[in-house]
Amino acid sequence: MSFISADEVLFWPGSLISAEGDIVAPYDLEHANEPLSAYRPSTCDPRIKHAKSAPFRIDWSAIAAVHVINGMGVTLGDSIIGLTAIAAIKARFPQVRVHVYRPARAPRYVEDIYALASGLVIDRCEALPYSLARLPVDETIIDVGNHLFWPRFSDTPMIDFFLDALGVEPSTVEPSHKCNEWLRSLPINGRTFARKQGAYALFSPSASTPLRSIPESVRARLVDAVYRKYGMTVLGFGPVDHPAYRNIAPESTSTEAFLEWIAGACFVMTGDSAAVHIAAGFGITTIAFFSSIEPQLRVRDYAHCHPVTLDVPTLRSLQASNRQGDVHLVERAFADVLATGSLRLPDLGC
């Protein structure tokens, strides 16, 4: 199979094979000062299954191990949902050993979720590049690399996308296995909880892109709405000028602490971020704002999530942006929600 052009390498919807025979993540090449030449698609090896190239299904009852190449993304939210797909498989087929091969340059806070999941959801996690020759010839190999550039990622509920990419028919998986409840089994040690006093609401405004974050210009007003509704302290990640608010970012310097703060909350308000997926895993009542992605593609299976769709049709299906014009449209949409009084906060069971 011929080499991929240098212009296509970073956006290739899958993993790559180097001239030396190593499996490589396009993400790692993007963050390295290396030539973007002499790479072939992973599918040049017929052993590697790749749903973008050729849809497939696996009889999981008949296999003992699977090797997931370049899974499950370089953001925390994508990783949590990708791991949910693996957890759903292992819940039904516990004999399967899952080996995941990760981009070496992924953010540390993202890699932490794989370390926490080791022994619970995955059996081994190794860094790319990885020699193709070292992969067992008699075990299943699946490439889910660079999934952001797969067309189905933009029009399919994320959990269904990952299940399909792993060779599972999504309709065969119960909704209860699609809401990240494996997070409750993580070995988070509770040290953060010792510093908490009473019931609190949690405000997590930042996502992996400004497009899906809560703008700074409306944060104080949203915190005020939460405080007036619930009458409890609002803790959050980042500064907000409100007397009932406390910035706990300095006390949340690890993924483990981030999980703990969310798990202990009575209520979470966030954007289209990892926090909404974590809150769902712990059954926390949540308001989540969506600017460019349809809520059903992210939170369809989250019984305790109340999504708010912002009126910005020109941004629909856009995955990321920090362009000032796009961010301004999001700010205006948030301001409209507050001005019209259309935001309705749910009652709590806390």
Cα dihedral sign for 11, 23, 140, 97? Answer: negative
The answer to whether 145 touches 24, Cβ cutoff 8 Å, is no
Number of domains in the chain: 2
- pLDDT at res. 191: 62
Question: How far from 233 is each of 80, 212, 224, 251, 254, CA to CA, in Å?
Answer: 28, 25, 10, 16, 22
The answer to whether 234 touches 227, Cβ cutoff 8 Å, is yes
Tell me how many degrees the CA angle 114-137-10 measures, rounded to the nearest 5.
Answer: 55
Residues 123 and 216 in one domain: no
pLDDT in tens, 186-217: 988 766 664 566 899 999 999 888 888 999 99
Tell me how many degrees the CA angle 309-294-91 measures, rounded to the nearest 5.
Answer: 120
Residues 155 and 249 in one domain: no
Stretch among 205-209, 213-217, 271-275, 278-282 having the lowest mean pLDDT: 205-209
**Confidence grade of residue 221 (pLDDT, cut at 50, 70, 90):** very high
Question: Which pair of tokens denotes residue 106?
Answer: 């992924």
Look at residue 179 and give its three-state secondary structure.
Answer: coil
pLDDT above 70 coverage of the chain, percent:
97
Is residue 6 a part of any domain in this protein?
no
Residues 222 and 120 in one domain: no
Residues 82 and 223 in one domain: no
Residues 168 and 208 in one domain: no
Among the three residues 185, 209, 242, which one is the final residue of a domain in this structure?
Answer: 185
Tell me how many degrees the CA angle 113-117-121 measures, rounded to the nearest 5.
Answer: 135
Q: Containing domain of residue 30, as a range?
A: 13-185
Q: What is the mean pLDDT of residues 325-336?
A: 92
pLDDT in tens, 83-92: 999 999 999 9
* Number of Cα atoms under 13 Å in the Cβ half of residue 307: 23
Residues 37 and 129 in one domain: yes
State residue 240 phi and psi, 5-degree precision: -145, 130
> pTM (2 decimals)?
0.95
Q: Assign residue 294 the CATH number of its domain.
A: 3.40.50.2000
- pLDDT at res. 298: 95
Pure H helices in the chain: 26-30, 76-92, 108-117, 158-165, 216-230, 255-263, 274-281, 296-299, 324-340
Distance of alpha carbon 59 from alpha carbon 326, whole angstroms: 44
Burial of 303 (C-beta count, 10 Å sphere; 0-12/13-18/19+): exposed
Residues 310 and 212 in one domain: yes
Q: Given a cut of 90, is residue 280 above it in pLDDT?
A: yes
Is residue 323 a part of any domain in this protein?
yes
For residue 33, the 8-state DSSP code is -
pLDDT in tens, 162-193: 999 999 999 999 999 999 999 999 988 766 66
Q: Given a cut of 70, is residue 290 above it in pLDDT?
A: yes
Among the three residues 136, 157, 185, which one is the final residue of a domain in this structure?
Answer: 185
**Confidence grade of residue 80 (pLDDT, cut at 50, 70, 90):** very high
Distance of alpha carbon 147 from alpha carbon 71, whole angstroms: 9
Look at residue 222 and give its three-state secondary structure.
Answer: helix
pLDDT in tens, 43-53: 999 999 999 99
- pLDDT at res. 305: 97
Residue of 234, 226, 295 lying closest to 261 (CA atoms): 234
**Confidence grade of residue 315 (pLDDT, cut at 50, 70, 90):** confident
Question: Which pair of tokens denotes residue 327?
Answer: 């961010």
Q: Given a cut of 90, is residue 296 above it in pLDDT?
A: yes
Amino acid at position 309, single letter? T
pLDDT above 90 coverage of the chain, percent:
84
Q: Given a cut of 90, is residue 33 above it in pLDDT?
A: no
**17-21 long-range CB contacts below 8 Å, 24 or more apart?**
17/41, 17/42, 17/44, 17/45, 17/132, 18/129, 21/131, 21/132, 21/133
Is residue 347 a part of any domain in this protein?
no
Is residue 192 a part of any domain in this protein?
no
- Starting at the earlier edge strand, list the strands of the sheet with 65-69: 48-49, 140-143, 65-69, 97-102, 124-127
Is residue 3 a part of any domain in this protein?
no
